[in-house]
Amino acid sequence: MTPKDLVYQAASELFDKRDLTAADRYWAKDYIEHSTKGAAGLDGLRQSASTLPDNLRYEPARTLAEGDLVVMHGLYHGLDQQALVGCDMWRVTNGKIAEHWDAHQTFTAANPSGHSMIDGPTDITERDKTAANKQIVEDFVRLIMMGADRSQLPRFFDGDQFLQHNPVIADGVSGLGEAIQTGVWAAVVQQCHRVVADGEFVFTQGEGTLHDEPTVFYDLFRVADGKLAEHWDVVYACPANLPHSNGLF
């Protein structure tokens, strides 16, 4: 069973069917939880699963897998009064889920360009380009998102073509520039913790500040013909307290 298949099966049995014994079958005994919502270890996992609302429904959008990491991007219904966009990342070791990170943000159905936070392409069709696409995104994170070297922007985009799913930013490099100039989007990524690539999709997990507040950034890019073509994200403010001592990363 691949890591992706394992995560699908485990999540289905524990969270959909509410079979608490799945924690023993699919999760490692020394499981590490980084979620802002779940307590530590298998006991925390069982507690979270047992208290999920009856009307919980997950709407998957994209799933990436590279090495021992699996990333799921989709929509949660029933966790809050409004739907939540979620990014979950799982680390699988020796056939067991060993670690988990996540991010949630209130869903926006239409941003300034009319895109929702999850619509757009979902199929992975270019796995032969995974390594090259990963390098493009890593360079973008290093030079632009962390280095703020705006002179390097043209190398990453096909003119102004760039589809944007962030809830407050319009399409195009011009849309991003306007959001930055007007103060709508004042983000600084200070550290990138993990990068997961699968075909044309590349996910990054980072931290920094948004409007000077400590913030977690989960970004998902689609690369086309060597250029950044599309972007989704899930962003949340770092909480003051966590239900465990494992940290967010």
pLDDT tens-digit series, residues 46-72: 999 999 898 899 999 999 999 999 999
Domain range for 51 is 3-106
CA distances for 155 relative to 14, 143, 151, 226, angstroms: 45, 11, 9, 9
Same domain, 145 and 82: no
pTM (2 d.p.): 0.95
Q: Which long-range contacts (CB under 8 A, 24 or more apart) does 246-249 make?
A: 246/32, 246/33, 246/34, 246/40, 247/34, 248/34, 248/36, 248/101, 248/207, 248/216, 249/34, 249/101, 249/193, 249/205, 249/207
92 with 147, same domain?
no
Tell whether the model's pLDDT for residue 122 goes beyond 90: yes
| Residue 150 pLDDT > 90 | no
The answer to whether residue 230 sits within a structural domain is: yes
Q: Is 4 helix (H, G, I), strand (E, B) or coil?
A: helix
Structure confidence at residue 91 (pLDDT) = 98
Q: Is the pLDDT of residue 152 over 90?
A: no
Task: Say what the pLDDT of residue 149 is.
Answer: 80
- The count of structural domains within the chain is 2
Average pLDDT over residues 177-181: 89
Categorize the per-residue pLDDT at 16 as very low, low, confident or very high, splitting at 50, 70 and 90: confident
Same domain, 146 and 77: no
Q: Is 81 within a domain?
A: yes
- pLDDT value at 87 more than 90: yes
Query: Reduced to 3 states, what is the DSSP secondary structure of residue 140?
Result: helix
Helix (H, G, I), strand (E, B) or coil at 143: helix
Q: What's residue 70's pLDDT?
A: 98
When the pLDDT of each residue in the chain is averaged and rounded to a whole number, the result is 95
Nearest-angstrom CA–CA distance, 205 and 86: 13
The tens digit of pLDDT for each residue in 196-216 reads 999 999 999 999 999 999 999
What is the mean pLDDT of the segment spanning 10-38? 93
For the cut 90, the answer to whether the pLDDT of residue 186 exceeds it is no
- Asked if residue 180 is part of any domain, the answer here is yes
Q: Which two tokens stand for residue 10?
A: 């485990």
Instruction: Please state whether beta strands 163-164 and 227-237 pair in parallel, antiparallel, or not at all (unpaired).
Output: parallel
98: confidence class by pLDDT, cuts 50, 70, 90? very high
Domain ends where: 50, 76, 106? Answer: 106
